[in-house]
């Protein structure tokens, strides 16, 4: 949808799909447009977590520690994982 939509269409879609208000949807579309790799990283992280949880299950800390070992984890999550040991 993103490839064939303009910003206004994406904001309307977010409002319907995610139940966001107009301003909230506008801010999210703007943030994603400004930093598209952040949105991609979040989506990939979510998919990785879903896959790991389906196969291994349990608490998120072992998953985060594994992600840290691979060098791919946001600083706040890395700190949380280290504090949760």
In the predicted model, is pLDDT for residue 9 greater than 60? yes
pLDDT in tens, 64-77: 777 767 666 666 66
Highest mean pLDDT among 11-15, 41-45, 47-51: 11-15
Model pLDDT, residue 1: 54
- The mean pLDDT value of the chain amounts to 76
| Coil, strand or helix at 57 | coil
More confident residue, 20 or 67: 20
Kindly list the distances between the CA atom of residue 61 and the CA atoms of 57, 75, 85, in Å, as whole numbers in the listed order.
Answer: 11, 14, 8
């Amino acid at each position: 949808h993103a490839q064939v939509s303009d910003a206004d269409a994406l904001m309307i879609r977010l409002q319907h799909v995610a139940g966001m208000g107009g301003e909230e949807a506008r801010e999210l579309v703007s943030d994603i447009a400004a930093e598209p790799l952040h949105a991609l990283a979040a989506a990939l992280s979510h998919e990785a977590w879903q896959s790991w949880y389906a196969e291994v299950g349990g608490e998120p800390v072992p998953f985060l520690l594994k992600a840290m070992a691979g060098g791919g984890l946001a600083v706040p999550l890395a700190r949380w994982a280290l504090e949760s040991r």
